[in-house]
Structure 1
Amino acid sequence: MLGHTGASTHTGAPPGCDDTHLTPSTSGEAGCTMSVTSGKTGLSLTQEILSHLGLAKKTAAWGTLGTLRTFLSFSVDKDVQRLLRAIAGQGVDRAAIADVLTNRSREQRQLISRAFQERTQQDLLQSLQAALSGNFERIVVALLRPAAHFDAQELRTALKDSGSAEDVVVEILATRTPPQLQECLAVYKHDFQVEAEEDIKSETSGTLQNLFLALAKGGRESCSEIIDYNLTEQDVQALKQAEGPGTEGTWVLILTQRNPEHLVRVFDQYQRCTGRELEHTVRNRFHGDAQMALLSLASVIRNTALYFADKLHQALQGTEPNYKVLMRILISRSETDLLSIRAEFKKKFGKSLYSSLQDAVKGDCRPALLALCRAEDL
């Protein structure tokens, strides 16, 4: 029986395409523990980020490539006073509000909110909402809400939306670290008095439901220094054989339980064995929302930064940008991997994300979005 217990280390080439059978493996916590540092000198910012792209797509690099850092000269009292002046005058000083909120980490913004409450006996979020409107109000709300609360609200809206929900649900369930996901689901239960799993069951069905439930469990295996070529071959053969009715569970099991590094090897080996990309089989094998969700998940697994770059590019198309998507991604990734997303954006589309935002975004939320993006990539 081939499982994932006591996997041996292999240093040679992977075996050929032999017929094997799938045995579910023991799941562990997702994510790798690794820091990304650079000893390179004389590189431009874009070159340095591009040199990290192989790592940036993994949980290993989360938290190392953000555009927004902890503000070193942070003074909570000065920030509270500045925000008070911004909303207490004859005209609201949107520039001051944006400058404070987009130059502080999320943790620092929470400290500002608590201090504002203590000093004024007023809720900062409610005070700003009363003074603002439109997209600028929405981005301020998103910046001030704790990450788990923002994710929980986005997840709830997506599941209850009468339209297609799979894109947002996959984004949140598949790209958050295990602790982030656990906190999001706890907030979901507290705020809406229902488990997210129950809403998934009531709002979805079939393969899509099984996929979402598996992602919500957060049971993806940890990244490992050990390369198990036997397990890679086992998973490839299992996916090749999972073509008939009733075999959808195999796809869900493998794509939601295995760690990303292993799955990239599975994707590559699958293409070598079949002559086609795994995504091609997904398009032929699945339909509708389940197909779209699985394709999104495959994109996350292959390269998380590129997945977000594609989403941002799509949100910038058309006569009116999708501000909701722009805000959610720029805010949620600003302290994790937005630098690598910017690099992937420039690499694929030949134009920087900053310039694309400048050209497409209008209105008073524009400076805030540009501040989160931070800089031009030459």
Structure 2
Amino acid sequence: MGQNESAPAENTSDQGTVKPAVPFDKDADATALYEAMAGFGTDEDAINAILTKRSNNQRQEIKEAFKTKYTQDLVDSLKDELSGDYRKTVKALMDEPAVMIARCLNNLCQCGGDKMEIGLLEIIYPLSATDVLGIAAIYKETFSTVLHEDVSKSDTGPFKDVILNILVGERSSSIRVDTAAANDDADFFFKTKPEDWQLPNERVETLFGRASISQLRQTFTQADAQFQANNLSLEKVMQDSKMDETQKAAFTVIFKSMCQPLGFYVDSLYWAMKGLGTDDDKLIRIVVGRSEIDLASIKKMFKEKYPTTTLAAMVEDDTSGDYKNVLIGIINADAAPTPAPTTT
């Protein structure tokens, strides 16, 4: 067997905002959360102060301590006390990462349409083959259904076969690049009109659904270099073309998630909030999902790419109440440490 790759977004130089609390007392945190929900009203600030300043592993320990001490399920207790997008965010924080992703995928399978297909690509495409299979296993354990079967029933879009190939493990996990094939595919993108890239297109579907992350990255980088030599870019040529808008969105996810992982998340967050309405599901998914991986790096690049604002400022403008506060708590979790409660 050849060497396996990891998803491109997992850069060791990138930083999350949420770090494990030191010192950490799971029993004190469990007590503080219980007291925040006891009696009339709920102390949301106390809940946020704990959950946004603990790593996911620590939250799982708090969950166990709460169950032991109060014979209640912490997540159920939180769900009973909270509502709306705030409850969704807290639930995402309390889920293990793979379970959170599985829930997002299940929700998308139920919504259907273009939003479903783009959302599936946004979640699945950046993941390594190994990670996809792991999430598929968690999905089955959580929902007692098979992920690729749910997608097959719900997705009727042009990228359905690409998504299914990845979900069933057809994407190569090799880190070796076939340079000749990468050059040939790069030439295809450079010499062919973007309108002719659109799916259905057997060549493009095979590349997108079966080539390894390393192969795709090399192919797109080569193609972009050819466009750059002509004062263009792969993305600009595509965006300026007469491609179907949904296909443009899908191609953008694929190109950016392979070649510009941080930029992919930066733009996803920006456009989730830009204009009328907010894509709250996407906002929650990325802020929570990247909080321990590279959210600090995303935050920094966000300011560099959109210098008139910041990630926190856009969240402040687009959300409100406890929902806003918990998101800001995650985004700024690296700003100042909050002392952990201690048992007496």
Give me the TM-score of the superposition, normalised by structure 2. 0.82
Q: In the alignment, which residue of structure 2 is the partner of 1:66?
A: 16
Give the whole-Å Cα distance in 1 for the aligned partners of 2:197 and 2:302.
38
Q: In the alignment, which residue of structure 2 is the partner of 1:143?
A: 93
Q: Is the 8 Å Cα contact of residues 18 and 333 (structure 2) preserved in structure 1?
A: no
Give a deviation string over 1:231-275, Cα, whole Å, max 9, x none: 322332455579499972321232344444543442243245575
How many equivalent residue pairs?
325
State the 1:365 CA deviation: 1.5
Q: Is the 8 Å Cα contact of residues 186 and 219 (structure 2) preserved in structure 1?
A: yes
Q: Is the 8 Å Cα contact of residues 15 and 292 (structure 2) preserved in structure 1?
A: yes
Give a deviation string over 1:253-305, Cα, whole Å, max 9, x none: 32344444543442243245575644435986964644432321112112111
The runs of 5 or more residues in structure 1 that have no matched partner are 1-25, 33-57
State which of 127, 130, 133 in structure 2 corresponds to 1:182. 133
State which of 270, 283, 288 in structure 2 corresponds to 1:313. 270
1:363 equivalent to 2:313? Answer no
Q: In the alignment, which residue of structure 2 is the partner of 1:168?
A: 119
The runs of 5 or more residues in structure 2 that have no matched partner are 336-344
Give the whole-Å Cα distance in 2 for the aligned partners of 1:180 and 1:265.
21
Give a deviation string over 1:342-377, Cα, whole Å, max 9, x none: 122111111221222223321112221111111799
State which of 306, 319, 325 in structure 1 corresponds to 2:282. 325
1:303 equivalent to 2:254? Answer no
1:349 equivalent to 2:306? Answer yes
State which of 13, 30, 33 in structure 1 corresponds to 2:5. 30
- The aligned amino acid for 1:330 is V
Q: In the alignment, which residue of structure 1 is the partner of 2:338?
A: none
My pick for the range that moved more, 285-294 or 171-180, is: 285-294
- Relative distance call for 1:363 and 1:190 in structure 2 (3 A) is same
Q: Is the 8 Å Cα contact of residues 30 and 221 (structure 1) preserved in structure 2?
A: yes
State the 1:341 CA deviation: 1.2
Q: Secondary structure at the match of 1:61?
A: coil
- The aligned amino acid for 2:271 is Q
State the 1:229 CA deviation: 3.6
Q: Is the 8 Å Cα contact of residues 214 and 252 (structure 1) preserved in structure 2?
A: no
Q: Is the 8 Å Cα contact of residues 220 and 255 (structure 2) preserved in structure 1?
A: no
- Relative distance call for 1:169 and 1:120 in structure 2 (3 A) is same
Give a deviation string over 1:18-47, Cα, whole Å, max 9, x none: xxxxxxxx9863317xxxxxxxxxxxxxxx
State the 1:109 CA deviation: 0.7
State the 1:141 CA deviation: 1.1
My pick for the range that moved more, 331-340 or 262-271, is: 262-271
State which of 191, 195, 203 in structure 1 corresponds to 2:154. 203
Give the whole-Å Cα distance in 2 for the aligned partners of 1:100 and 1:348.
31
Give a deviation string over 1:73-118, Cα, whole Å, max 9, x none: 1111110110111011332110110111111111111111112112
Q: In the alignment, which residue of structure 2 is the partner of 1:79?
A: 29
State which of 65, 73, 81 in structure 2 corresponds to 1:123. 73
Paired-residue identity, %? 26
Give a deviation string over 1:208-249, Cα, whole Å, max 9, x none: 11111122245343445xx65433223324555794999723
- Relative distance call for 1:80 and 1:30 in structure 2 (3 A) is same
- Relative distance call for 1:161 and 1:133 in structure 2 (3 A) is same
Q: In the alignment, which residue of structure 2 is the partner of 1:340?
A: 297
- Relative distance call for 1:246 and 1:363 in structure 2 (3 A) is closer
Q: Secondary structure at the match of 1:104?
A: coil
- The aligned amino acid for 1:252 is E
- Relative distance call for 1:245 and 1:143 in structure 2 (3 A) is closer
State the 1:138 CA deviation: 1.6
- Relative distance call for 1:76 and 1:284 in structure 2 (3 A) is same
Q: Is the 8 Å Cα contact of residues 126 and 258 (structure 2) preserved in structure 1?
A: no
Q: Is the 8 Å Cα contact of residues 129 and 166 (structure 2) preserved in structure 1?
A: no
- Relative distance call for 1:373 and 1:273 in structure 2 (3 A) is closer
Q: In the alignment, which residue of structure 1 is the partner of 2:330?
A: 372
Give the whole-Å Cα distance in 1 for the aligned partners of 2:240 and 2:162.
16
- The aligned amino acid for 1:250 is R
State the 1:320 CA deviation: 4.2
Q: Is the 8 Å Cα contact of residues 299 and 311 (structure 2) preserved in structure 1?
A: yes
Give the whole-Å Cα distance in 2 for the aligned partners of 1:334 and 1:361.
18
1:102 equivalent to 2:59? Answer no
Q: In the alignment, which residue of structure 2 is the partner of 1:293?
A: 250
My pick for the range that moved more, 254-263 or 168-177, is: 254-263
- Relative distance call for 1:336 and 1:246 in structure 2 (3 A) is closer
Q: Is the 8 Å Cα contact of residues 267 and 277 (structure 1) preserved in structure 2?
A: no
Q: In the alignment, which residue of structure 2 is the partner of 1:269?
A: 222
Give me the TM-score of the superposition, normalised by structure 1. 0.76
- The aligned amino acid for 1:359 is D
- Relative distance call for 1:308 and 1:258 in structure 2 (3 A) is same
State the 1:325 CA deviation: 1.9
- The aligned amino acid for 1:293 is A
